[in-house]
A and B are shown apart, each in its own frame.
Chain A
């Protein structure tokens, strides 16, 4: 027999190779299925503008630390968030378009809507300001001027809360934006960041929430041209997805999140969040929220949490209620609250 290097016989070598390859393959696949989180979690459908502002990164860890419940935020457009919640893919809905939210509850998809906080929209535009609206405190008048000047305007056009708010201002200004579509009015059909990118690139006007604007880094030649109008206040509501519609909804944990958000800790967390040195979100839980006809109002302890300076500020009471009328409700609500607690503690 001719001398050959001592090697294991052919068949064994082939088998070893095959085993190694199968092991590598199995390892790859197993690695690809990470163990499901052992801890509890809820899914909250919210919006990209809220997510991008950084609020969730600030307040959610506090909630998790207190309760041990992880909060997974799926941040999409308002329309998509509501659709997600309707289909039962989320436990809690946390968006900012009151009319849509009330419809959501009315159609039976949600248990009850509660006010949480508000933030503001601002109108941004090129420093050159061709439509001469800079410094105005009247959004409707400014929008009329924009339409008259046919100044380029970048709209989100994606059925989001921001988009719907923008359309409401156009309607109030008596402008039919469909006529401008494709010329001065550009609907990008995308999120806030993408729309601002487009506006910066086109030197166009746009409506943005202050949080997204502060966090936005690609400003180009844009600056804030209109702010401070009451119409530009953007209210957030939080709703538990109806467990009667979707049995798997984590009602207890979702309610715990809602309770915390509307409670002293949550409201303080919201108020303490600052971006660029400015407070973005103003907590308003317990004032002037809508309700489904059958459910009584709830959650009153938050009234005390509005900072003393803000209490006298008419902006903190969008529905025109005075602190006194609100404060007269406590006792009835306490009983209601514990009754509601009992309902979900099963």
Chain B
């Protein structure tokens, strides 16, 4: 099975309403580390993920996956999960059915996923009556069932309480251990420190710093990154160092 990685972005820009929201973004994502995309609100983190996942098209530049049919091997978890109006088990089953997995295999996978996410006792409940935390776990189960090679997560725990957050982080970790490439956005520094192997720092649509996690948090290069790590609000800062980078340092 050919891998869809590495993912290459070349001078990607995205414009909407006359404003450039993603500017000259270039990078190359290989298999391996858990990448956290960090940055203040409105930096373009969600847009970046959606561009990579293929939900929107760039107005300039290229996004290149390897292999055929890269869409099938990716998954995405959103900040507010959208549950189908059916049972928990049926939600997990949905993606599998779309891919034509035969019925017996589906039953086994659904059962496995529900077990791993601790949702087995809720299997027949309508998905919409679950709490946010349970729904987000269900979203993970749903996408995990498809065994994606790359998983994009857009602030998945932003609305969750600490217990649910912990549970979700554990699941993400488990998926990583089984070989899924994790690309996650967050604006929670603590979470970033817990999860990240490497950090991409974005501000106003530009990739300003890309470094291994421990170095980024200890000694960020970029001044805006420094301010961000210190916990400052970057509402007026344009920063001295505005050049876009394309390789991890």
A: which residues have CB within 8 A of B? Answer: 1-2, 4, 7, 9-11, 14
Contact = CB atoms under 8 A, between A and B. Distances in A.
21 contacts: A1-B115, A1-B120, A2-B121, A4-B120, A4-B121, A4-B123, A4-B124, A7-B124, A9-B107, A10-B87, A10-B89, A10-B90, A10-B93, A10-B107, A10-B110, A10-B123, A10-B124, A11-B93, A11-B106, A11-B107, A14-B90
Contacts of B93: 10-11
Contacts of A2: 120-121
A4 B119 CA distance: 12
A2 B106 CA distance: 20
A2 B120 CA distance: 8
B134 to A, nearest CB: 15
Chain B interface: which size bin? 10 to 19
Which of A10, A11, A14 has its CB near the most chain B CB atoms (within 10 A)? A10
Contacts of A11: 93, 103, 106-107
A11 B93 CA distance: 9
A317 B103 CA distance: 86
Contacts of A4: 120-121, 123-124
B97 to A, nearest CB: 9
A333 to B, nearest CB: 79
A343 B123 CA distance: 78
Interface in B81-100: 87, 89-90, 93
Nearest to B118: A2
Contacts of B87: 10
Given A11-B107, A14-B90, 7 more contacts: A1-B115, A4-B124, A7-B124, A10-B90, A10-B110, A10-B123, A10-B124
Nearest to A7: B124
A337 B89 CA distance: 81
Contacts of A7: 124
A7 B124 CA distance: 10
Contacts of B103: 11
- The 6 lowest CB-CB distance pairs between A and B, nearest first, are A10-B89, A11-B103, A2-B121, A9-B107, A2-B120, A11-B107
A327 to B, nearest CB: 85
A63 to B, nearest CB: 59
A129 B121 CA distance: 85
A4 B90 CA distance: 17
Nearest to A10: B89
A14 B96 CA distance: 15
A4 B125 CA distance: 12
A8 to B, nearest CB: 11
Nearest to B89: A10
B14 to A, nearest CB: 40
A11 B120 CA distance: 16
Contacts of A1: 115, 120
Contacts of B120: 1-2, 4
A159 B121 CA distance: 75
Nearest to B124: A7
B22 to A, nearest CB: 41
B99 to A, nearest CB: 15
Contacts of B106: 11
Nearest to A3: B121
